[in-house]
Amino acid sequence: MKKLLSGNEALALGAYHAGVRVATAYPGTPSTEILESISQFKDIYTEWSTNEKVAMEVALGSSYAGARTMVSLKQVGLNVAADPFLAAATTGVKGGLVVINADDPGIHSSQGEQDNRRYAELAKIPILEPTDSQSAYDLMQVAFDISEQFDTPVMLRTTTRISHSKSVVDITGQRQLREQKMEFPRQMQKYVMLPVNARVRHPLMEERLVKLAAFGDTFAFNQLEKGEKKLGIITSGIAYQYAKNVFPNATILKLCLTYPLPPELLKKFAAMVDKILVVEELDPFLEDHIKAMGINVIGKEFLPRLGELNNDVVTGAAVKADLLPASQPLEKISIPAKLPMRPPLLCPGCPHSGAFYVLSSLAQRLKLPGSKQTDKTSTLVITGDIGCYTLGAYPPLNAMDTTACMGASIGQAIGMEKAGISNKVVAVIGDSTFLHSGITPLIDAVYNQSKITVMILDNSTTAMTGHQEHPGTGFTIQGDPAGKVNIENIVKGLGIADVKTVNAFNLKEVRAALKDSLERDELSVVIVRGNCAVKVPKKVNPRAVDKELCNQCGICLLIGCPAIQTEGPQPVIDGTMCMGDACTICEQICPRKAIKPASPVKVGVNK
């Protein structure tokens, strides 16, 4: 049966057909949909883990017990999981263990650009890279076999473009499940990594690489496509597709096992062609390793190390490298005025908006649009974290000063305070992020007697990545009831005395709590609770601006709510977007009380 599947859907289906029994993950773009997709099969165990490190450890245990297991994570997720990832590489596996790692060239939605093939090299484990959804489906099945045959975790590396593109998959297989009893026979030398045992494992890892390299020489998915002799292309992943478009006549070596590289196959290929260009995204990973084998290739002196490739970029590089003749570029359209950008915004009715409005006002950062007023020296420093709430960094809210990696806000705040800045420091962190990696730094704050204020924005979901459940929501990925962790109890359990919980949609309450905490000379936590607008089932009583009462002061525009628009200087509320009774933030800040429930809206032009 032929179907259009995204790379992520194809990976999930391939794993299911390969007999995976346990799948773990923490959400992150672009890998999120892999677990979501495989969780539709009720006969396997799937979990959203607390964070990637835990996901990797649960997977490792499951593999030790004999189950075919997979972990999926985004590239920075592997930073978090690096410790157990390297441990897994050392101990090896029992049931096949596949780590699906999704890189994000072009930084579509990450806090950085990194080439995680380097991690597999560090861990001395194999990398498989699909070139489209069909190959994702096929390779997933092979991945488990390789893992078991070579006693190693396998990195299956995808990129945003592979994960999020749909292409045709011929679904040939069906679920193959071994009859098997789950058991863990003790084996001290393999599973207890005391130095004496780790010393035994290391040479096995080196041997493993040698065997894998030889395996790659005849691996059916490393494919040689014969073409003209004058140009050879070595490529992998999505770059293969661009190479096929740009060099239709070249001889191409498509590598799907990209680490370790197949020495004999590469030598054979090099002997077949006059010149070799390596086409790969991000780092010169293949290129460096091929050069180290003594094979002469060109690559990154023409192709960028940054961002995604595409046909235009590869063509440009080919022209620079004299591999293609320059062609007359199509004339660009002249655009009369600069087109306005459309940055993402917090949704209408977002529970984070009010919290940031208060924070911004306490930090004296609110500025009317277009006003010439210069930034006052802020009394506060606001360390931030990653989630929808990172959008609070943008104008008009301007209420976030740092974003580094998940969970960093609290540690950064402690560090600023200890370094001795004179401002009070507030750390802002979301609920999923807090549970992911905010607890250990909060312990640090208690232990080291820090006096920062921590704001936990609890919208009861992992909104940024598409509203996944987490340990605080009380539901599993499949929507079944689950254990529910209480954030107040965690915080109080650490021994923090000043802990307040406030309603995100009551600005007076938020303001009073925050102001009180900021004035105190002790560690404090304010939990701001309110449902994510996307989770609110129904919009009731959208608000409207009473033009008689409104004096066009523009204060309501400082929330940055997309439902509040302008007709000339007059603010107006788009009733089809307004969340109404569920929010009322603008109503609370309007000094003239000009914002009120509108008369019921007619079903009109929707946006």
Partner 1 sequence: MKKFDLLLTGVGGQGNILASDIIGDVALTAGYDVKKTDTLGMAQRGGSVISHLRIAAQVFSPLIKEGEVDILIGFEKLETVRWANYLKPGGIAIINNYAIPPLSVNQGLEHYPTDAEVKNIIGQRTDKLYLVDGSQKAAELGNARTLNIFMLGCLSKFLPFEIKDWEVGIALHLPERLLKLNMTAFELGRKEIR
Ligand X SMILES: Cc1ncc(C[n+]2csc(CCOP(=O)(O)OP(=O)(O)O)c2C)c(N)n1
Binding site for ligand SF4 (CB under 6 A): 346-347, 350, 352, 388, 459, 463, 532-534
Question: Could you please report the per-residue DSSP string of 282-338?
Answer: SS-HHHHHHHHTT---B-TTTS-SSS---HHHHHHHHHHTTSS---PPPPPPPPSSP
CB of 433 to ligand X, least distance (A): 3
Nearer to ligand SF4, 346 or 525 (CB): 346
Q: What CA–CA distances, in Å, run from 550 to 218, 371, 597?
A: 75, 19, 14
The item of ligand X, partner 1, ligand SF4, none sharing an interface with residue 533, based on CB under 5 to 8 Å by kind, is ligand SF4
Q: Exposed e or buried b for every residue in 442-467, given b needs 16+ CB within 10 A?
A: beebeeeebebbbbbbbbbbbbbbee
Contacts of 294 (CB under 8 A, 6+ apart): none
- Residues from 423 through 452 that contact partner 1 (CB under 8 A): none
Reduced to 3 states (helix: H, G, I; strand: E, B; else coil), residue 260 is coil
Q: Does 430 sit near ligand X (CB under 6 A)?
A: yes
d(CA 493, CA 395): 37
CB of 567 to ligand SF4, least distance (A): 25
The item of ligand SF4, partner 1, ligand X, none sharing an interface with residue 462, based on CB under 5 to 8 Å by kind, is ligand X
Contacts of 459 (CB under 8 A, 6+ apart): 351, 352, 388, 430, 431, 504, 529, 530, 531, 532, 535
Nearer to partner 1, 204 or 345 (CB): 345
Contact between 435 and 50 under an 8 Å Cβ cutoff? The reply is yes
Helix (H) or strand (E) holding 589: helix 585-589
Identify which range of 264-272, 384-392, 446-454, 488-496 contacts ligand X by CB under 6 A. 384-392
Q: Mask of contacts with ligand X, 500-529, x by CB under 6 A?
A: ------------------------------
Nearer to ligand SF4, 11 or 532 (CB): 532
The item of ligand SF4, ligand X, partner 1, none sharing an interface with residue 557, based on CB under 5 to 8 Å by kind, is partner 1
CB of 457 to ligand X, least distance (A): 6
Q: Does 386 sit near ligand X (CB under 6 A)?
A: yes
Q: Mask of contacts with partner 1, 457-486, x by CB under 8 A?
A: ---------x--------------------
Residues present in the chain in total: 607
Which of 340, 420, 479, 481 binds partner 1 (CB under 8 A)? It is 340
Q: Does 432 sit near ligand X (CB under 6 A)?
A: yes
Q: Does 1 sit near partner 1 (CB under 8 A)?
A: no
Nearer to partner 1, 96 or 387 (CB): 387
Identify which range of 166-174, 181-189, 297-305, 425-433 contacts partner 1 by CB under 8 A. 166-174
Closest CA to 212 of 261, 139, 143, 144: 261
- Residues from 71 through 130 that contact ligand X (CB under 6 A): 74, 76-77, 80, 111
Reduced to 3 states (helix: H, G, I; strand: E, B; else coil), residue 224 is strand
Place of tokens 């306490």: 362
Nearer to ligand SF4, 265 or 487 (CB): 487
Q: Which residues pair with 596 in a beta bridge?
A: 544
Q: Does 318 sit near partner 1 (CB under 8 A)?
A: no
Contact between 363 and 399 under an 8 Å Cβ cutoff? The reply is yes
State residue 388 phi and psi, 5-degree precision. Answer: -50, -35
Reduced to 3 states (helix: H, G, I; strand: E, B; else coil), residue 501 is strand
d(CA 539, CA 349): 10
CB of 373 to partner 1, least distance (A): 15
Q: Does 388 sit near partner 1 (CB under 8 A)?
A: yes
Which of 231, 464, 477, 518 binds ligand X (CB under 6 A)? It is 464
The item of partner 1, ligand X, ligand SF4, none sharing an interface with residue 430, based on CB under 5 to 8 Å by kind, is ligand X
Q: Which two tokens stand for residue 121?
A: 């090299």
CA dihedral of 13, 18, 20, 26, whole degrees rounded to 10: -40
- Going by the DSSP 8-state scheme, the letter that residue 377 receives in this structure is P
Q: Mask of contacts with ligand X, 387-406, x by CB under 6 A?
A: xxx----------------x
Nearer to ligand SF4, 282 or 532 (CB): 532
Sign of CA dihedral 155, 75, 460, 524: positive
Q: Does 345 sit near partner 1 (CB under 8 A)?
A: yes
Contacts 24+ apart (CB under 8 A), 442-446: 442/410, 442/491, 442/494, 442/496, 442/525, 443/494, 444/410, 444/411, 444/414, 445/410, 445/413, 445/414, 445/523, 446/494, 446/495, 446/496, 446/523
- Residues from 531 through 550 that contact partner 1 (CB under 8 A): 534
Instruction: Give the rounded distance of the alpha carbon of 155 from its chain centre.
Output: 17
Identify which range of 121-129, 252-260, 268-276, 457-465 contacts ligand X by CB under 6 A. 457-465
The item of ligand X, ligand SF4, partner 1, none sharing an interface with residue 474, based on CB under 5 to 8 Å by kind, is none
Helix (H) or strand (E) holding 455: strand 453-458
The item of ligand X, ligand SF4, partner 1, none sharing an interface with residue 241, based on CB under 5 to 8 Å by kind, is partner 1
Identify which range of 25-33, 159-167, 218-226, 583-591 contacts ligand X by CB under 6 A. 25-33
CB of 104 to ligand SF4, least distance (A): 20
Residue nearest to ligand X (CB): 430
21, amino acid identity: R
Q: Which residues pair with 540 in a beta bridge?
A: 580
Point out which residues bind ligand X (CB under 6 A): 26-28, 52, 74, 76-77, 80, 111, 386-389, 406, 430-433, 459, 461-465
Point out which residues bind partner 1 (CB under 8 A): 2-4, 108-109, 132, 161, 164-168, 238, 241-242, 244-245, 310-312, 315, 330, 332-347, 369-370, 388, 391, 396, 466, 534, 557, 560, 562, 564-566, 569, 576, 603-607
